[in-house]
Amino acid sequence: MRETLFAKCSAAFGKKTLFALNLLLLIFNPSVRIISISYKGVTGLSREKVEQYLEKENYADRIIVLEDSSATVEEAAHALGCEPEHIAKTMSFLLDEKPLLVVMAGDAKVDNRKFKDRFHKRPRMIASDVVEKFIGHAPGGVCPFAVKENVAVFLDESLKRFKTVYPAAGDAHSAVRLSLEELEKLAHPKEWIDVAKGWE
């Protein structure tokens, strides 16, 4: 019965709408579950893409699936049991309407002056509601792996302090344990840059 109802409603409204509706129902009345769904949304598909990519490169065993959220640097560090600076956070920007990613240490912040010196424009972060459209991953799971073809990836010098770092793996409940050399190999960065502050 539930499957039939879900199929009919999916055709009428779409799975994303129903997924959001189900979440709202759970928030406001946890005892009520009108529609039972096993919906693999954007983040689920994103992690699948990352898993497939890392499996092809023989690094799938480095993925760590977490029960707790890893959406922010602090949450990821707590869930992984590491220092926040070891989280390799991936920042998404638009430059001349083209997306680019900068992977930097968890304790680093974007230095507007350095960014402008390097790219000749001030940093303009991609709005959270269109990150997936430009990058291929949703906020909380953005990483430099399995991104859309036109996304340029850069690695920031702030990461070079560490032997091991933890970038996300496509969603807000996963990470990848990598050496710096492995990160560079798998992320295919255009180059190393220095656009961060607050970590020196």
R_g of the chain computed on alpha carbons: 18
pLDDT reading at 102 higher than 50: yes
Instruction: Tabulate helix, strand, coil % of the chain (nearest 5).
Output: 40, 20, 35
Give the separation between CA 173 and CA 195, rounded to whole angstroms. 28
Among the ranges given (44-48, 78-82, 157-161, 174-178), the one the predictor scored with the smallest mean pLDDT: 44-48
What is the percent of the chain with per-residue pLDDT over 70, rounded to a whole number? 78
Average pLDDT taken over every residue of the chain? 84
Give the separation between CA 117 and CA 115, rounded to whole angstroms. 5
Instruction: Identify whether the C-beta of residue 164 lies closer than 8 Å to the C-beta of residue 175.
Output: no
Q: How many CA atoms lie within 13 A of 96 on its CB side?
A: 6
Query: Which residue has better confidence, 65 or 19?
Result: 65
The pLDDT tens digits for 107-119 are: 999 999 999 999 9
3 state DSSP class of 45:
helix
Give the separation between CA 173 and CA 48, rounded to whole angstroms. 13
Query: Would you give the distance in Å from CA 52 to the centre of its chain?
Result: 15
Farthest CA pair distance, the chain: 61
Please name which of 17, 193, 198 lies closest in space to residue 115, comparing C-alpha atoms. 193
Per CATH, the homologous superfamily of domain 42-197 is YbaK/aminoacyl-tRNA synthetase-associated domain (3.90.960.10)
pLDDT reading at 126 higher than 70: yes
Region of 25 (left: φ > 0; alpha: ψ -120 to 50; beta: rest) is: alpha
What is the percent of the chain with per-residue pLDDT over 90, rounded to a whole number? 76
Measured between alpha carbons, how far apart are the two ends of the chain, in Å?
A: 60
Domain ranges of the chain: 1-39, 42-197
Strand (E) or helix (H) holding 11: helix 2-13
pLDDT reading at 7 higher than 50: no
